[in-house]
Chain A
Amino acid sequence: MAMNGSPDDLETVLRRYEVRRVHERAAAADAAELAAVSRRLMARFLADHDYRFLNLALKLNDALRRCGTRAETATLDAAEAACMAQVRRLTGLDHAR
């Protein structure tokens, strides 16, 4: 899926991927593209704290763990862990901000 890089473009991606449940139909051939989208979604979450973007990234990461390469999932695992740590800080479960 081509993306132009604008913030609203990710909102469009979010809706399109969620409505079409792309994560449920992901195949190995899609792994590189989905990993790129997931990284953008997690970066967006870290920037504006909109949980919906992380939510989709978590779904894509699960799909990538099923069909992606070890190198792709390793970098995503680290990014996801950073996001989940941020979730805990934002929700007050971990106090250090």
Chain B
Amino acid sequence: MKLCLLTSLPSAAMQLLYVVQTAGYRFSDVIVERDPGMHYDILEQYAGIAGFELHYVGDPNAEECLQLVRRIAPDVLQIVTGTIIRPPLLAIPRIGTLNTHAGMLPRYRGSDSPLWAILEGGQLGVCVHFVQPTIDTGAILARRVLHVRPGDTIASLLWRNHHENKWQATVEALDRVRAGERVGEPQAPDAGKQYFVMHEKLVRVAEEILRRRAAEPVELACR
């Protein structure tokens, strides 16, 4: 199974590459959306060690990138980027394009999913899904729930969700694809809501909810 990674976040890409490598997966190519303000030295060093080809592009939806991905001809394109990927790119990978969303789908689509889940008493976690043109609506391949512990803060929850859940769920999704899964669990389009960046006043409420939980350790109710 030929794997290609498209990323705008070199540090997150490094973590993903390392975790999947320990699970026996190797990405043949890594495509970086180049940002003049970022450094890629470590990723370039790791390319030599892990043996993947490193490519740089400007806009991942531009013809330059489409041609590159056609040349690579991946079975699976994994994305780690905030850029919305357009249908021409999504059509290239033989099996599909995967995204690892830091929230439980279908309920929490869009931005700041963990914060919204804290505020609403919902479940935290990650979901790996096939990418569709509409945001976070593709069929789900893997999900991992994050349980809130007494004493957790927003920072600790985000850290654990990222480091203990996100790439591990990605491995589980790759396992399913390697085993022949091509469909996943469909999401009903109207099953969830799209959330946006949370205002700081609501973030402070979420922080207070966690502080209160630390004082009164009970499970967050899932509405």
Contacts and interface: CB of A to CB of B under 8 A. Distances in A.
A9 interface: no
B116 interface: yes
A6 interface: no
Contacts of B209: 91-93
Which of A14, A18, A62 is the most central at the interface, judged by chain B CB atoms within 10 Å of its CB? Answer: A18
A15 B193 CA distance: 11
A59 B199 contact: yes
A15 B194 contact: yes
A87 interface: yes
Nearest to B211: A93
B196 A88 contact: no
A35 interface: no
A52 interface: yes
Nearest to B120: A51
A42 to B, nearest CB: 13
Interface in A30-56: 50-52, 54-56
Given A87-B205, A88-B205, A55 B198 contact: yes
A54 B208 contact: no
A51 B201 CA distance: 12
Contact of A91 (B119, B193, B199): B119
A8 B131 CA distance: 26
Interface residues of A, number: 18
Nearest to B201: A58
B68 interface: no
Interface string B51-74: 000000000000000000000000
A87 B194 contact: no
B119 A51 contact: yes
Interface string A72-86: 000000000000100
Interface in B84-121: 116, 119-121
B40 interface: no
Nearest to A84: B201
B202 interface: yes
B163 interface: no
Contacts of A92: 209, 212
B159 interface: no
24 contacts: A50-B193, A51-B116, A51-B119, A51-B120, A52-B195, A52-B196, A54-B202, A55-B196, A55-B198, A55-B199, A56-B196, A58-B199, A58-B201, A59-B199, A84-B201, A84-B205, A87-B202, A87-B205, A88-B205, A91-B205, A91-B209, A92-B212, A93-B209, A93-B212
Interface of A: 14-15, 18, 50-52, 54-56, 58-59, 62, 84, 87-88, 91-93
Interface of B: 116, 119-121, 193-199, 201-202, 205, 208-209, 212
